[in-house]
Amino acid sequence: MPLIKSQLQLSDTVLGLVIGLTFVLFYSLLGVPIAWAADRWNRRDIIAVGFAFWSLMTMATGLVVNIWQLATARFLMGAGEACGIAPSNSMLADLFGKARRPLALAIFGTAYSIALVLFYPILGWIGQHHGWRAMFVFAGAPGLLLATIFYCTVSEPRRGASDAQSGAVGPADAPSPQRLEPQPFLTTLRFLAGSRAYLLILLGVAFMGADIYAAGAWNPTFLRRVHQLTLTQIASSIGPTLGLLGAAGILLGGTLASRLGRRDGRWRLRVPAIACLLVGPAQLLFLLGDALPVWMTGFALTSLLTLMHQGPIYAAAMNVATPRMRAVATSLILMCASLLGQVMGPLLVGFLSDRINPALGDLSIRYAMLVTAGCAMVAGASFWGAVRYVERDTQRAGALVGMARGAEA
């Protein structure tokens, strides 16, 4: 961002709007209609086209010469990436039954952490030696090849296949899952709105999104102002720690939810609820600790716990939705986590920091960021509340599919 700002002569405000809000806004909002299309048509094709398109727009970002071209590239990149997670989660839900679904989605969710560890240092080296434009071209080019490989090697799974095999929905002799009819968009929204578990999940991911985005935006500033770390120290130590422990936490959450969920299905939501409730004390240790061992321990625990909810929460959303509603269910979760979290979290911390800065100076960021611990606790309480309704709402989704199959028969 500093290199782009210098070359295109932009202000921090304009750069922040173009790089951040423009992408998140269209990524979140366009994700819903794209997910609706994925619930009706071939998900493999939607992912492949989106994959190639956002890769091309990533490369195009390295060719921009003014702010309008940069804004357009970011907007189109967000539109392309909206084709990724929701259709992918829907496909995975058809490949893995209810018992294995939390772990499968957790493994899928480690991709970002792996990229953080493996590819960010490479891109940093390219940027340092060849400029920011080469970074974007290098980041986007492999996607064109991978999108082609994905299209040629991945098949569209049958809708609801894993549910029928596991007995999660309908009788064993029900008609073939692919015959399930797509639902109108408003019907999908009404059905999801009738699930208390799903609504509490949405509330939880909104607050957890605020925590994640606020920490991502302000942690470097906190470390520089309070602990006097340099940017090099932050990038070389904090980044890999966050990536490795984040991936470990995602896998741990998926593994625990899958294993404990075999005994009692409610543990598939209790695990993410407990993890988020523990994030609060871990963040307090990180933010209020002065000695290096203390705040680093807090940071490590936060890194491990913050994304632990990811796989089980997506899995729970898949369970309370029918096979033809799962992409939309995922897209609404992404919208709450990305759009509401992005707007609410960083803005609230910045506002509080400005208000108390006259009294505390650089330490104002420490106490403003305490709000992140509160957001995590609210998220944990929301997920825990959803435990009460998740089994009932899972049966509700199964009953609807069973009725539809009975009508077809």
Query: Is the pLDDT at 175 greater than 70, yes or no?
Result: no
Instruction: Count Cβ neighbours within 10 Å for each residue of 330-360 and write b for 16 or more, e otherwise.
Output: bbbbbbbbbbbbbbbbbebbbebbeeeeeee
Return the structure tokens found at 228. Answer: 């006097």
Mean pLDDT for 58-66 is 89
**pLDDT tens string 5-51:** 777 776 655 665 666 666 777 777 788 788 888 888 888 999 999 99
In the chain, what percentage of residues exceed pLDDT 70?
Answer: 87
Lowest mean pLDDT among 136-145, 163-172, 394-403: 163-172
pLDDT at 163: 66
pTM, 2 dp: 0.75
Q: What are phi and psi of 195, to 5 degrees?
A: -100, 110
pLDDT at 407 over 80: no
Q: Which residue type, as a one-letter code, is found at position 89?
A: N
Average pLDDT, integer, range 213-232: 80
Length of the chain measured in residues: 409
Binning pLDDT at 50, 70 and 90, where does residue 208 land?
very high
Quote the tokens at residue 272: 């993410």
Could you tell me the pLDDT band of residue 376, with boundaries at 50, 70 and 90? very high
| Rounded average pLDDT over 63-76 | 85
Please report the pLDDT score of residue 273 as a whole number. Answer: 95
Query: How far from 284 is each of 239, 301, 304, 347, CA to CA, in Å?
Result: 20, 11, 15, 20
- In the chain, the domains with their CATH numbers are 1-83+131-155 (no CATH), 89-118+182-409 (1.20.1250.20)
| 255-309 pLDDT tens trace | 898 889 888 888 889 999 999 999 999 999 999 998 889 999 999 999 999 989 9
Q: What is the pLDDT of residue 177?
A: 44
Q: Tell me how far apart the terminal alpha carbons of the chain are, to the nearest angstrom.
A: 58
Structure tokens at 94: 């058809």
- Give the pLDDT score at 10: 67
